[in-house]
Homo-oligomer: A and B are copies of this chain.
Amino acid sequence: MTDVSWAPVPEDSGFGIENLPYGVFTRPGELPRIGVAIGTAVLDLAGLAADGLLEDRRWFAAGSLNGFMAAGRPAWLASRARIIELLTIATYRERVEPHLIPLSQVELVRPVEVADFADFYSSIHHAANVGQIFRPDAIPLTPNWRRLPIAYHGRAGTVYVSGTPIFRPWGQRRDAHDSEPSYGPSQRLDLEAEVGYVVGVPSAPGWPLPTSAFRDHVFGFVLVNDWSARDIQFWESQPLGPFVGKSFATSVSPWVVPVAALEAARVPPPAQDPPVLPYLRCDEPWGLDLTLEIELNGHVIARPPFSSMYWTPPQQLAHATVGGAAVRTGDLFASGTVSGAGRPERGCLLELTWNGLEPLQLPDGTRRAYLQDGDTVTIRAFAPTATGARLAMGEVTGVIHPAPGSPAGTPTPGVA
């Protein structure tokens, strides 16, 4: 795509014509509806459809992408092609321009009504680090790790759009040196930088999806911050996995980047050794050259490379459905924490500070073992495009608040 849009696209906005991510926006007093980002504006698809410029089957005048996502790949590709026409052919400009609304004037809401949420554990560097920290006496990677993409189900009802306040969870924990569990606000509140994807087209109960079916079922990608209370998680997780420590909140970016927009970012994933079972083989390279960026209070603290992920999105979907589990429109699958091999590539504070033993020194003079009340965490990601422009996945951000109803004078967790 070497087309150039007539719509203004500031250099490095990341929202050029190669991207066109979908979101749901509102303005005061108006109903939410679907738009795509272009430059510093949102293109109002419901408005375009009402003006007869875009095929409309009630997909776009909706409060979530789910209806459009369920329409399937032919509809996704046709809409994308038409939107590119409208934004690149100069003769459309007069009729289309009134439907461009500055992003500064809109509120972005959660783009997807999340059906089920499953979270993988697909970074070998993350899994090895967590293994060393949480199970110091054992081999870091469990024997199954290179054989299947490990995952657990999270809580769909607590998936929030970027910007939603994050309340510090209270809960039960017992540190290794404690004899009794205690109760209080989490002292080890963490972020997890992840990349997720959302299902558009459902599958039938009993029918696994092969890796080759990924594009026919998956609509697009989002950024995910799977907030985690490490002290609560550590105490509760045996033998059935995390529950309270991860169920209080998960944040997603407001923009869903279509699978088609990331074609130029596809790269061969790391070699898998031992070879995977046939149902996990993938004929196409499905690594993605996304660079994540984690910002804490305005300071970039890590840049995890998604291209280092051991398990790819099509392998994840094939594994999730191998037992015949059906997927539904709105299902969210996330990668798990994205961590590269290097220390500045780690995707969570658990790893970056080695569970608080090596606090981060921030340029503003403060230190962080884990998150403090008032901290702002923002995750971004960028991908290459065929034109050389940088594609942005938007951002997912959140500010830590004390739990509502916290007793006055509750000590704020500090540096370890």
Contacts and interface: CB of A to CB of B under 8 A. Distances in A.
A207 B165 CA distance: 13
A115 B237 CA distance: 23
Contacts of A131: 239
Contact of A205 (B158, B235, B240, B323): B158
A144 B238 contact: yes
Contacts of A154: 153
B238 A142 contact: yes
B327 A116 contact: no
Contacts of A328: 157
A159 to B, nearest CB: 10
A324 B169 contact: yes
A92 interface: no
A150 B243 contact: yes
A389 interface: no
A363 interface: no
A404 interface: yes
B240 A158 contact: no
Contacts of A152: 152-153, 240-241, 243
Nearest to A402: B206
A370 interface: no
Contacts of A186: 323
Given A144-B236, A167-B205, A245 B323 contact: yes
A172 B155 contact: no
Interface in A322-352: 322-328, 331
Given A157-B326, A158-B205, A181 B277 contact: yes
Interface in A107-132: 115-116, 118, 121, 131
B205 A239 contact: no
Interface in A142-179: 142-144, 147-148, 150-158, 160, 167, 169-172, 174
A313 to B, nearest CB: 16
Find the residue from A157, A169, A204 having the highest chain B CB count within 10 A: A157
Interface in A229-266: 229, 232, 235-245, 247-249
Contact of A174 (B144, B156, B401): B144
Given A118-B243, A404-B207, A236 B150 contact: yes
B183 A278 contact: yes
Given A116-B155, A249-B205, A322-B170, A241 B244 contact: no
Which 3 pairs across A and B sit closest by C-beta, in order of nearness? A241-B241, A169-B323, A167-B206
